[in-house]
Amino acid sequence: MTYTIDEWFVVALARTIRDREVVFHGFGSPCAQVAMHVARRTHAPDMLLIEGAMYAINPDPPFIPPTSNDNSLKQGAAYSMRFEEFFDAASRGDVDRMFLSGGQIDGYGNTNVTAVGPLDRPKVKLGGGGGGCNISATIGQLTLWTTRHRSGRTLVSSCDFITDIGHVTPAGDRKALGYSGGGPQWLVTELGIFDYDGSGIARLREMWPDVTEDDVRSSTGFEFEVASDLGTVEPPSPAELAAVRAIDPLGVRRSEFDPGELQRTFEVALH
C-alpha cells in the first residue's frame, strides 16, 4: 500500500494537536481543516474542534467541501458559536491552538497574508488575514504550515508586511508587546518540521525521507538552527491514513500543493 505527501503532511499537522486542546483553523486552510478532524478521530478524541468559518463545535462533516462556509461543515455539531463568541474566546485566551499559514513566513514565525512588494503598488495582493492579526497575539500556541517551502519565496528573511504575530517583530517581542499567547510552536512544511528555540527562531527538527538538509537550506530565506537529533518524520499509521481518506473524500487537501509535489509517493513499511 502506498500513500502520498498530502496525506502524510496532514497527519504531521494533526500530531501538533494535543488531546483536550481547544483548536481552531481559519478559512482557506484545507490541510489544517482535515488535520483537525484526523486528530479528533485518532489521538485527540476529547479536543474541542472549532470548525473554521462555521464556528461549529465538534461537527462530523460527511465530507470537506472546497469552501469553508458550508452547512456540510456543521453536520453533527450540537452547537455552533456565534462569530463574536469565538473571537471573544480567542481574545481572552480560551483557545489553545490555531493553525496559520502565509504567503511569506519569516524565521520568527511572523506571517504575511496581505501583500508581497510595496504596499501602495504590491507585486502580489494576497487575500488577507481574516482574524489572525488580532488573535495570533492571544491564542495559546500556533501551528504554522506551508506547502510552498520549495518555491524559495515563502520562507523569507523578513516579511514585506506583518499580518500575524510570530515571536519577535521589529516593534519588540511578545513580552514587550504585552501579548499573552505563546506564539508559533511548530512550522510544518512539505520539506520538514521546525520548532522554535529559546530566542524564537525556527529550528529544523525533522525532514521527510526524500528531502535533504541542503534542499531545506536552499529553499529557506532565513538562517535556522538544526536540532542535534535531526530525524525523519514518523510515518502515518494505518488508522491515521484511514482517517484522512474518510474525512476528505473530495481531496480538498491536495489543492494546497503544487502538482509536482503530489507525485511524492511512499510505501507503507511491512513489519
Partner 1 sequence: MFLDPDKRVDLSTAAGMVADGDVVALGGGLSARLPMALIREMIRQGRRNLHVVGSAHSLDVDMLVAAGAITVCEESYVGFEQDFGLAPAYRRAAESGTIQVKESCCVTILTQLRAAEMGVPFLPVRGIKGTDMRRLHPEYAEMTCPFTGEVLVVVPPLRPDVALLHAPLGDTRGNLYMEQPYVLDEHFASAARSVVATVDKIVATEELVERGITIPAHLVRGVAEVPFGAHPASSYPHYAYDRSATGAYIRAAGTQESLESYLDEWVRSTDEAGYRDRQGSAELERLTTWSESVDAWKGLFA
DSSP for residue 65: -
Q: Which stretch binds partner 1 (CB under 8 A): 177-185, 193-201, 213-221, 239-247?
A: 177-185
Q: Is 132 in the site for partner 1 (CB under 8 A)?
A: yes
Q: How many residues of this chain interact with partner 1, rule: CB under 8 A?
A: 64
Spatial separation of the C-alpha atoms in residues 8 and 6, rounded to whole Å = 6
| Least Å from the CB of residue 268 to partner 1 | 27
Q: Is 68 in the site for partner 1 (CB under 8 A)?
A: yes
Q: Is 190 in the site for partner 1 (CB under 8 A)?
A: no
Q: Is 137 in the site for partner 1 (CB under 8 A)?
A: yes
Q: Is 271 in the site for partner 1 (CB under 8 A)?
A: no
> Treating both helix axes as pointing N-terminal to C-terminal, what angle do 30-41 and 238-247 enclose, rounded to 10 degrees?
130
Q: What character string, x for contact with partner 1 (CB under 8 A) and - otherwise, covers 38-67? A: ---------------xxx------xx-xxx
Q: Is 175 in the site for partner 1 (CB under 8 A)?
A: no
DSSP for residue 119: S
Q: Is 120 in the site for partner 1 (CB under 8 A)?
A: yes
Q: Is 78 in the site for partner 1 (CB under 8 A)?
A: no
C-alpha cell of residue 80 = 455552533
DSSP for residue 164: B
C-alpha cell of residue 196 = 522554535
HSE value, Cβ hemisphere, 13 Å, CA-based, for 91: 9
DSSP 159-185: -SS--B--SEETTEEHHHHT--S--EE
C-alpha cell of residue 72 = 456540510
C-alpha cell of residue 89 = 474566546
Q: Is 134 in the site for partner 1 (CB under 8 A)?
A: yes
Q: Which stretch binds partner 1 (CB under 8 A): 8-16, 83-91, 210-218, 235-243?
A: 83-91
Which of 250, 268 has the CB closer to partner 1?
Answer: 250
Q: Phi-psi region for residue 53, left (φ > 0), alpha (ψ -120 to 50) or beta?
A: alpha
**Where do contacts with partner 1 occur on this chain (CB under 8 A)?**
27-30, 53-55, 62-63, 65-72, 74, 80, 82-84, 87, 90-91, 114-115, 119-138, 161-165, 169-172, 177-179, 249-250, 252, 255-256
